[in-house]
Amino acid sequence: MSTRTFTEEEVQDLTDRVFLLKEHLEAGKMHFATKELSDGFFQSYEAIQLRPDGKVEPTSVDGRIRASTLALMAMRQREAVKNELSLAQIQQIYFDFLFREFGWLYEMMKKAGASPSESAEVLLRNDDMWQRLSKVLPEMVDVVREFWKGTGEAAGYHLQDGQQLKAVFAGDVFPAHWENAVSTAGLYVDTIILPCPLTRLGALLKASASRKIVTVVVKHILTAMTYKDIALADVDPPIAMIVPNRDDPSDDERSSLVLRAVPAICAHAKYLFGRTFDGVDDLQEFCLHLKTVDQVMKELKGPDRLIFDTEWGSSPSQQLSRAMIEHAYLPGMAEEPHAGLQIFNTSLGRMPQALGAQEASLHFRGTPYINAETSWLHFTWLLEYQGVPASDSLAHRQSMHVVRALTSEANNNLEWLGNVPPETVLEIRKRGLAGELRELLGHGVSDLIGINQDNYFRTADQVVSNLDEAFRRHQQSLRDARHKKLKLYGIDVGACVATGAVAVAAALTGNATLGAVSGVMGVAGLPNLRDIKTKLTELSAQEKARRESPTGLLFRHVR
C-alpha cells in the first residue's frame, strides 16, 4: 500500500489545526452528544504523535480529528470576519452612502411632507434629471454591489449566528412607504432583514433605465432611507437591518436562482395548462404559440392560479388582459402584446422570487416576511409543489404565522397598526417588554399550527383575537382608572363637588389655607388632604405602570 507524502506546508497547517483543537479541549469548549462519541474522539486524539521537531506526524491523525480541526478553523475564520466589521458599522457606511448621494432629495421630501412615491414622480418629470439619473444610477449599482461583496459575508455571519427571531423581507423590492415593516412584523420578531433596493433592482435598471424604472428605483431608495434611525438605533439585537439576499448583488447568482427554480416553474406551468414540460425552453415554445388571451383561455386548466395581481379581480382573462397593459414597459416583453409571453415571463419571475424568499430565510436562519398578497400566494404554491413544510422549527413556524397575520390584517381588522410609529417599537424593546408582547400576540397560535400548519387564516384570526382581547382589557383598565379618580376611598367626590375641589386644589398647589379648610371638612366624614394625596400618588403610580406596559405603549396610538 502506498504512503502519501506530505509537504512541510501541509504538516505545518495540520499542526496549527491540532494545537487549536488542543486549546479548545483544555478550555472545555468541546462537547459531545453521547459517551460513545466522546470515547471514540479521545481515542483518536490520544493517538496523535509529534515528530522530533515538535510538529504533528500527519499519518497519526485520522479523519475524525482532521474533520474536527477543519471545523474549528472555519469557526475561527468566521469569527475573524465578524470582528473586522460589526453590523452597526456596515449599516452606518451604507446609510452614509445613500444620504451622501440622495440626502438633498430626502430633505426636500421631508420638508414638503411628501411621500417617496410622490417625490420620485415629481423629480422624474424633469427630463434633464431623468437623463442624469439614468446614467448615474447604473454606476451606483456597481458601487453598491462591490460594497456588499466586501461586507455581505460579515453581515451574513452576524445575522446567522444571532439567536434572535428574524424575519427576512421578500416578495417585493422593498416594503411600501405607507406600511413601515417595523410597525407590523417588528411587534413580534426581534430583527427584520430588509433588501437593498439598488442591488435588487440592479439587473432591471441595467437592462433598461426607462423613466418608469428610474422612478421606481428612486422611490424605493427614498423609502429605504426612512429606516436609517431605526437601523442605527443603539439596541441589541437590532430591530431592522438592510442586508441584501445572496442572489441580489450578482447577475450570475440571479441566473443560478432561476436554474434552481426550474422544477417549480415547470410544476406551476403544469398546474396552469394540465401538461408536463421538460424545461424552460419547452414552456417558452408552448407559450409563444399563445398570442391572444382567447388562445390562452382555451389551453388553461388551472384558472385559479393565473394571477398577476390579487387586486385585479378573480377573472383569469381580466388578469391577463391587464397584465399585458401594465407590464408592457418591462424588459423582455414583445413589442406587440403577447398573452403567452406574459405568462412565461411571470412564471420565470414569480417562482424564482418565491424560491429566493425561502432560501434567504434559510440563509439568515429566519422566516420569510412576505406582505404582498400576490407574492404570498406564489410562495404557498411553491411549498405545495415542493411538498415540504415552511419550516421544521415550531418557533419559526409560529413566527411566520404571527408575522403573516400582522401584515395581512394591517389593512383589514388591524388598521390601527399603521398608526404605531417605529419609535414605539424601539421604546418597547428598550424597556425589555418585547417578550411580553410576543407572548400576547402568539397566545394559542402553536396549538392551531399543531392542528394544521398551513391554515394561516385561522392563526390570523387568533392573533386578531389576542389583540382585541388585550385592547378590551386595556380599555377596561382605563375605565377603572377613571372610576378610581372619581371615588377616593369609596367616597363619591361627585356628590361633594365643593369639598373635593378644595381638597384636590390644595393637593396640587400645596396651599396651606386650602389644606386647612379641607381638613375641617374631613372631620365631617369627608376625605382629608392626606388621604387624597396618598391615593393620588398610588393612582399616579398605577397610571405610569399602565402607560409604560406593552399594551399601554402599543394602544396609545389607537384612534
Pair (196, 302) in one structural domain: no
**Which residues contact residue 194 at a Cβ distance below 8 angstroms, ignoring those fewer than 6 apart?**
169, 174, 175, 181, 224, 227, 240, 241, 242, 243
Judge if 34 and 113 occupy the same domain.
Answer: no
Determine the 3-state secondary structure of 499 from DSSP.
helix
Number of neighbours of residue 18 by Cβ within 10 angstroms: 22
pLDDT confidence of residue 553:
52
User: What pLDDT does residue 246 have?
Assistant: 79
**CA–CA separation, 490 vs 102, rounded Å?**
62
CA distances from residue 231 to 89, 178, 222, 227 in whole angstroms, order as listed = 11, 18, 15, 6
The pLDDT tens digits of the residues spanning 299-316 come to 999 999 999 998 888 899
Last residue of a domain, one of 210, 243, 276: 243
If asked whether residues 80 and 93 sit together in one domain, one would say: no
On whether both 117 and 207 belong to a single domain, the answer is yes
Task: Specify whether 118 is located in the same domain as 234.
Answer: yes
pLDDT at residue number 521:
40
Cβ contact 181:192 at 8 Å? yes
Query: Per residue in 174-213, pLDDT tens?
Result: 988 888 888 777 777 888 999 999 998 888 888 878 888 8
222, 284: one domain:
no
Domain assignment of residue 533, yes or no: yes
Give residue 277's pLDDT. 95
Cell of 191: 430583527
Do 30 and 80 fall into the same domain?
yes
**Domain assignment present for 370:** no
Q: How many domains does the chain have?
A: 4
pLDDT at 223: 95
- Domain limit, last residue, from 293, 319, 352: 352
Residue 373 included in any domain: no
Domain finish residue from 200, 217, 243: 243
Instruction: Provide the domain limits for residue 261.
Output: 256-352
- Tell me, yes or no, whether 222 and 94 share the same domain: yes
Do both 238 and 279 map to the same domain? no
List b or e across 294-327, with b for residues whose CB sees 16 or more CB atoms inside 10 angstroms: eebeebbeeeeebbbeeebeeebbebbbbbbeeb
Note whether residue 369 is domain-resident: no
| Same structural domain, 114 and 176 | yes
Q: What letter would DSSP give residue 58?
A: G
553 vs 559: CA distance, rounded Å? 13
pLDDT of residue 493: 41
Q: Give residue 499's pLDDT.
A: 40
Q: Is 438 part of a structural domain of the chain?
A: no
- Tell me if 15 is assigned to some domain: yes
Q: Is residue 456 part of a domain?
A: no
Dihedrals phi, psi of 367, to nearest 5 degrees: -125, 150
Asked if residues 97 and 225 have their Cβ atoms less than 8 Å apart, the reply is no
Low-confidence ranges of the chain (pLDDT < 50): 1-2, 474, 478, 481-486, 488-526, 536, 539, 546, 548, 550
- Residues 97, 236, single domain; the answer is yes
- C-alpha–C-alpha distance, residues 309 and 320, integer Å: 10
Q: Residue 261 has what DSSP assignment?
A: T
The answer to the question of residue 251 being in a domain is: no
Shared-domain flag, residues 176 and 66:
no
The total of other beta-carbon atoms located within 10 Å of residue 264's CB is 23
